[in-house]
Structure 1
């Protein structure tokens, strides 16, 4: 088998493969200019950035435990079924009865780690409350 390969190699030695001519004598064709396309989403599909929103809110049905203690509403004593609000680098807790308290032990980073994607954007705070079933 080695001898057959060697003989075939000797037969091909010195042979030049045929050259396929791809260019014609005509003038080269210039490519047509590519039209500029706006690669941004249309306005109705764009999501506002964090600096375009007054704040964000999410429901939190579980108790919140910070520094080993359960956080409770300062006015009514509720300790779960919170609405957590993030606005102006502050986190606020709102109970079912509508009492709000600033929670200084939570920050925007905590909120961002625990919040899922937003499912709606509301024109007013009250619209957001209604959407999440709060008053």
Structure 2
């Protein structure tokens, strides 16, 4: 056992020396068949979605709205329309960092207890975009 340890301490073996020489000769060489092809000019391709499939960014949209069928309870109080008393089937609108509630009778009131962060937490993904406010109301059945 001690004989083997002393033999290693004497220097590299013949096999280790041959391997080191071969490695030095092959350094930076490419094996045959793996030559790197010359770079050919490529045509520039727009890999972004076509315009009809793009979703507008938040700064390109005037506002967002979502339906809210159930009663809306804030701070332990059920929210009701200030004009007609409706308390369910709201459209919740988020625009210019304000939240507005719209009842079935088309009355609108600002809700200061809600903010954009609340809207973003409770809204799902947008299923459509519309050019006008009226188009969006029709889409949501109002």
Q: Which residue of 2 aligns with 1:59?
A: 67
Counterpart among 67, 78, 97 of residue 70 in structure 1? 78
* Residues 65/29 of structure 1: CA separation in 2 closer, same or farther (3 Å cut): closer
Helix, strand or coil: the match of 1:127? Answer: helix
Unaligned segments of structure 2, at least 5 residues? 1-13
Instruction: Render the CA deviation track for 1:63-89: whole Å, top value 9, x for unaligned.
Output: 111111001000111111100001111
Unaligned segments of structure 1, at least 5 residues? 1-12
- Give the superposed CA RMSD: 2.1
Q: Which residue of 1 aligns with 2:112?
A: 104
- In the alignment, the residues of structure 2 paired with residue 125 and residue 63 of structure 1 have an alpha-carbon distance, to the nearest angstrom, of 24
Q: Which structure has more helix as a fraction of its residues?
A: 2
TM-score (norm 1): 0.77
- In the alignment, the residues of structure 1 paired with residue 78 and residue 111 of structure 2 have an alpha-carbon distance, to the nearest angstrom, of 12
TM-score (norm 2): 0.74
Q: What does 1:1-135 align with in structure 2 at a 5 Å threshold? A: 14=15, 22=32, 29-134=37-142
How many equivalent residue pairs?
Answer: 116
Q: What is the deviation of 1:29?
A: 4.7
- In the alignment, the residues of structure 2 paired with residue 36 and residue 96 of structure 1 have an alpha-carbon distance, to the nearest angstrom, of 52
Q: What is the deviation of 1:42?
A: 0.8
Helix, strand or coil: the match of 1:83? Answer: strand
- In the alignment, the residues of structure 1 paired with residue 89 and residue 116 of structure 2 have an alpha-carbon distance, to the nearest angstrom, of 20
- In the alignment, the residues of structure 2 paired with residue 89 and residue 66 of structure 1 have an alpha-carbon distance, to the nearest angstrom, of 18
- Runs of 4+ in structure 1 off by over 3 angstroms are 13-17
